[in-house]
Structures are given as structure tokens and as C-alpha cells.
Amino acid sequence: MRKNYFAKMVNYIKKVYKIESGLKNLTDDRVNPTYKTDQIILPVLLGFILRIRSFNELNQML
């Protein structure tokens, strides 16, 4: 998969489905979290959509 295609797809998902605004409303019960909830959910969601088998593979794509 070309990097340009991946970037275009991410931009399309953000514009059409407005994922970022929905993710900002998510909260959890962690005390003093290092990362915000939306920063965790977005890469996992993209990995699920793209059927990526591991976080290492997702990290290489990003």
C-alpha cells in the first residue's frame, strides 16, 4: 500500500465521518492518563478498518 493512498484514506475518513469530533467526547476512568482516550482509539480503529494484524505493522504504516 502506498503512503499517499493511506494518507488520502485517513483524510477521507476524517472529513466524511468526522471521527475526530466523536472521539474527543470519549472519556474513561483512568487516573492521570499519559495519553488521551482519543489518541488511543484512533490508531486502533484505523488498524481494525485496514485489517492490520499487529501494532508493529500499524506503526510502520504511520
pLDDT along the chain (62 residues), means of 10: 73 84 83 87 80 79 68
Question: Which one-letter DSSP state was computed for residue 50?
Answer: T
Which residues have a Cβ under 8 Å from the Cβ of 50 and sit 6 or more positions away? Answer: 58, 61
Cα–Cα distance, 20 to 42 (Å, whole number): 8
Its pTM stands at 0.56
C-alpha separations of 26 from 3, 22, 29, 48, 50 in Å = 29, 7, 11, 18, 22
